[in-house]
């Protein structure tokens, strides 16, 4: 635990009965934040860490959804999706992102494929769909969208994780994902079919957890990087989602008490917010992580200022 952060957190927890906002989710351990805004509400899709204090690997049984109308009070809608929802899946519920298109909510998840006639196993990406941001969600395809055998550049079996999806102004949808290398592919309008070849590339210091979005004609690829092992968050920009991507630097340093961290970015009521996870809750750690949020600021030229990690988090908005 970072001592300064712990001291700040404890002070905020105790001073005058005030509660620290960060981590924003305290009832369970959560990781891999993926926020969206829909009809005046922020919906936060998360992973769920349930490993024991002494565990040396993840135990992630399901994905949760939280919502807030003011960025301060968060409601847990429960475990709305699990690898068990997908007949072809087994194992942990890794990073995921849900986006809305034409009134439907597509929740792109990374989990693991059973060893069967389709795949020898390894990480895979699936899609669940619902008419509402809080479900009920069902498997949109009945099979995985991406299996380990579809990408060959990385030799490890868990490289096909951490999908991020966005729809460009011309209606073309793109999915980026990957551990060790970043891969991208176009998606068809159905959002459940690939629309072309998969391309892999290696942004500077890239490890995993990409988050891709567009702002003022500039595309952003924000990702968990090697950092100092623990991870940091770094980013690239481009004028075309197909690249080339220009490396822009570090936006978030190490987080307290967790090897990984993971970006999720959203604009809400005129402000930009940076979601991430750390291990700062009591008994927390690399396999018992917690989601936080702090402000994110852009410079005039579109570059991103360094994120300041705080215990108090962000102010409530009306």
In b/e form, how buried is each residue of 272-293, taking b as 16+ CB within 10 angstroms?
ebbbbbbbbbeebbbbbbbbbb
Instruction: For residue 88, say if its preceding peptide bond is cis, omega within 30 degrees of 0.
Output: no
| Comparison of 62 and 208: residue with beta carbon closer to ligand FUB | 208
Instruction: Provide the token pair at 230.
Output: 């623990």
Minimal distance in Å, beta carbon 192 to ligand FUB?
A: 21
Q: Using CB under 6 A as the criterion, which residues of the chain lie in contact with ligand FUB when the complex forms?
A: 31-32, 47, 58, 94-95, 110, 161-162, 208-209, 260, 262
Query: In the beta sheet, which residues pair with residue 34?
Result: 45
| Comparison of 139 and 162: residue with beta carbon closer to ligand FUB | 162
Nearest to 150 by CA among 189, 175, 127, 123: 123
Query: What CA–CA distances, in Å, run from 22 to 30, 59, 261, 286?
Result: 12, 23, 14, 17
Q: Which residues contact 17 (CB under 8 A, 6 or more apart)?
A: none
| Comparison of 210 and 313: residue with beta carbon closer to ligand FUB | 210
| Comparison of 8 and 146: residue with beta carbon closer to ligand FUB | 146
Minimal distance in Å, beta carbon 70 to ligand FUB?
A: 27
The distance of Cα 292 from the centroid of its chain, to the nearest Å, equals 12
Minimal distance in Å, beta carbon 271 to ligand FUB?
A: 25
| Comparison of 84 and 104: residue with beta carbon closer to ligand FUB | 84
Minimal distance in Å, beta carbon 158 to ligand FUB?
A: 9
Q: How far apart are CA 144 and CA 110, in angstroms?
A: 10
Minimal distance in Å, beta carbon 178 to ligand FUB?
A: 10
């Amino acid at each position: 635990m970072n001592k300064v952060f712990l001291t700040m957190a404890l002070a905020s927890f105790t001073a005058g009965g005030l509660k620290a906002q960060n981590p924003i989710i305290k009832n369970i351990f959560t990781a891999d934040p993926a926020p969206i805004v829909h009809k005046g509400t922020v919906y936060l899709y998360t992973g769920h860490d349930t490993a024991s204090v002494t565990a040396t690997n993840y135990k992630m049984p399901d994905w949760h959804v939280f919502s807030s109308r003011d960025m301060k009070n968060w409601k847990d809608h429960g475990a709305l999706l699990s690898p068990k929802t997908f007949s072809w899946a087994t194992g942990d519920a890794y990073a995921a992102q849900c986006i809305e298109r034409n009134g439907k909510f597509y929740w792109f998840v990374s989990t693991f494929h059973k060893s069967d006639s389709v795949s020898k196993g390894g990480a895979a990406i699936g899609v669940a769909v619902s008419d509402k941001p809080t479900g009920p969600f069902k498997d949109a395809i009945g099979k995985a969208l991406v299996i380990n055998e579809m990408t060959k550049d990385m030799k490890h079996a868990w490289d096909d994780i951490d999908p991020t999806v966005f729809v460009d102004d011309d209606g073309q949808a793109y999915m980026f994902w990957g551990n060790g290398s970043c891969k991208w592919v176009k998606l068809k309008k159905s959002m459940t079919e690939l629309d072309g070849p998969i391309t892999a590339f290696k942004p500077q210091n890239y490890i995993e957890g990409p988050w891709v979005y567009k702002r003022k004609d500039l595309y952003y690829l924000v990702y968990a990087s090697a950092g100092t092992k623990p991870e940091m968050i770094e980013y690239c920009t481009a004028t075309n989602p197909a690249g080339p991507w220009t490396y822009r630097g570090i936006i978030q340093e190490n987080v307290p008490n967790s090897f990984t961290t993971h970006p999720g970015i959203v604009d809400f009521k005129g402000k930009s917010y940076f979601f991430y996870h750390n291990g700062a809750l009591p008994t927390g750690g690399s396999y018992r992580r917690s989601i936080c949020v702090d402000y994110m600021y852009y410079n005039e030229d579109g570059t991103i200022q360094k994120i300041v990690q705080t215990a108090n988090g962000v102010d409530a908005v009306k």
